[in-house]
A and B are shown apart, each in its own frame.
Chain A
Amino acid sequence: QQQVKQSPQSLIVQKGGISIINCAYENTAFDYFPWYQQFPGKGPALLIAIRPDVSEKKEGRFTISFNKSAKQFSLHIMDSQPGDSATYFCASTPAGTASKLTFGTGTRLQVTL
């Protein structure tokens, strides 16, 4: 059973545009929401993460928006660049579960010139 639903499956954005990827979770016990970035042929790497005590976290051009009541969170990439072209995974985990992450199905982002 998929506990984290991610959309869209793929996304094409022009250089300089805003990329938005959405995730919804079901388990209200989840309390940690990271985003991982994966380039072709590489393993995923942590990009940015948020805990539910804040509604937004920004690091450079990357922002996580979190809506606890709707059980949704999203990744916004401002001023998207060709170097941002990668697959992005949202994930979540309940507290006290030895860091077990439940991943979304991934979004393949292509930033065109």
Chain B
Amino acid sequence: NAGVTQTPKFRVLKTGQSMTLLCAQDMNHEYMYWYRQDPGMGLRLIHYSVGEGTTAKGEVPDGYNVSRLKKQNFLLGLESAAPSQTSVYFCASSTLEFSTYNEQFFGPGTRLTVL
């Protein structure tokens, strides 16, 4: 099993450009999440999904959109990138099985720079 994979690994955008980050998981998990990681800020939840076709806002959703058309994929979109969106983006997934301590499995991250 590959676990959680993210593409691309690195990306440089100019202000105003758009892009989509792709997350895929092969663990049949119901829940998927997008976080951003910034120095001194920890991991902050952008959007999450509790199942195919559902999405919900997290702590810092402004400037991002998401879609979960298939259970195994969770897409994060930036419609008009801004320098403040320069960050490392992590996708994660977890299962409904609460007996497993709600463990979230993280992907390797995407490093995005907006010039």
Q: Which residues of A7-63 are within 8 A (CB) of B?
A: 9, 32, 34, 41-46, 49, 51
Q: In whole Å, how far is B38's beta carbon from the nearest beta carbon of chain A?
A: 10
Given A9-B40, A103-B43, A105-B40, check contact A98 B106 (CB 8 Å): no
Flag the segment in B12-20, B63-71, B79-87, B97-105 that touches A: B97-105
A99 within 8 A of B: yes
Q: Per-residue 0/1 for A90-102: is the Cβ within 8 Å of any B Cβ (1 yes, 0 no)?
A: 0001000011110
- Contact of A104 with B102 at beta-carbon distance under 8 Å, contacts A43-B108, A98-B48, A99-B94 already known: no
Contact A46 B103 (CB under 8 A): yes
Q: Which of the residues B31, B42, B105 comes within 8 Å of A105, measured between beta carbons?
A: B42
- CA A56 to CA B102, docked complex, whole Å: 19
Give Cα A17 to B104, complex, Å: 30
B45 close to A (CB within 8 Å): yes
Q: Does A6 sit within 8 A of B, measured CB to CB?
A: yes
- Is A89 part of the binding interface, using a Cβ–Cβ cutoff of 8 Å? yes
Question: Which residue on chain B has the smallest CB distance to residue A50?
Answer: B101
Q: Check A44–B43 contact: CB distance below 8 A.
A: yes
From known contacts A32-B101, A32-B102, infer whether A43 and B90 are also in contact, taking CB-CB under 8 Å.
Answer: yes
Q: How long is the Cα–Cα vector from A49 to B102 in the complex, in angstroms? A: 10
Q: For residue B61, give the distance in angstroms from its CB to the closest CB of chain A.
A: 13
Q: Is the pair A45, B42 in contact by a Cβ cutoff of 8 Å?
A: no
A106 touches B90 (CB 8 A): no
Shortest distance from the beta carbon of B102 to any chain A beta carbon, whole Å: 4
For B56, give the chain A residue with the smallest CB separation. A98
Residues of B within 8 A of A100 (CB): 45, 48, 58
Residues from chain B with a CB closer than 8 A to the CB of A98 are 31, 48, 50
B103 touches A43 (CB 8 A): no
* Residue ranges of B at the interface with A (Cβ–Cβ < 8 Å): 4, 31, 40-45, 48, 50, 58, 90, 92, 94, 101-109
